[in-house]
Amino acid sequence: MDWIISKDLVDYELALSRMDERVAGIHDGSMDDAVWLLEHPALYTAGTSAKAEDLLEKRFPVYKTGRGGEHTYHGPGQRVAYVMLDLKKRQKVPDIKDYVWRLEEWIILTLARFGIKGERRCGRVGIWVVRDNGREEKIAAIGVRVRHWITLHGIAINVAPDLTHFGGIVPCGISEHGVTSLKALGVEASMEEVDAALKACFGEVFLSGV
């Protein structure tokens, strides 16, 4: 199992190419499973279910991608974790729904280390928090793809991005709820601290009970 951390912003198309290379290596047995932690320059991605009308304003480059889901934003201050795991080796029976549940649990446990209660919502992808006024806001996105039962793409946690950048899209097709971040919730956390929490919680979710 390899952990890869990129200190500089990573071009989106380069990231896709590197993920493809890793998945091919995992498939032929020449490479180990990996989690790649990185940040992208400001951009929008359109998943396989993206609707054209949900791109409200083309403020940044837009990339069509093979992951599931709709439009999302990536940019500085957001920790992206690309997860490349061989589900045939990690699950008794490969199960994508179980894998997505584990991604959600990974985020929830990570947020809990910073005193933030992340929650699932039926029918809404990602992890949500409830503000004091009752407003629900999304703090983390999930988008996955599976090839040869090996996972691609992964999660994105809003640590301290410019939240106004989300205004160019309807995030994940959901317009009635907002978007938030650790910083907006009053939590000042460095990427290094978030990475440490992600690493610690990963083992609780993916290396036990599978």
Which DSSP string corresponds to 135-156? -EEEEEEEEEEEETTEEEEEEE
Annotated catalytic residue: which of 172, 182, 197, 198?
172
Q: What backbone phi and psi angles, to 5 degrees, belong to 138?
A: -85, 130
C-alpha to C-alpha distances, 37 to 5, 15, 65, 79, 89, nearest whole angstrom? 5, 11, 19, 7, 22
Q: What CA–CA distance (Å, rounded) separates 98 from 91?
A: 9
Q: What CA–CA distance (Å, rounded) separates 80 from 188?
A: 18
Q: What CA–CA distance (Å, rounded) separates 73 from 87?
A: 27
Active site (annotated) includes residue 122: no
Residue ranges with strand state E in the chain: 2-5, 34-38, 43-46, 62-64, 71-74, 78-84, 119-121, 124-130, 136-147, 150-158, 178-179
Q: Give the torsion through C-alpha atoms of 76, 43, 40, 164, to 10 deg.
A: 10
Active-site annotation, residues = 172
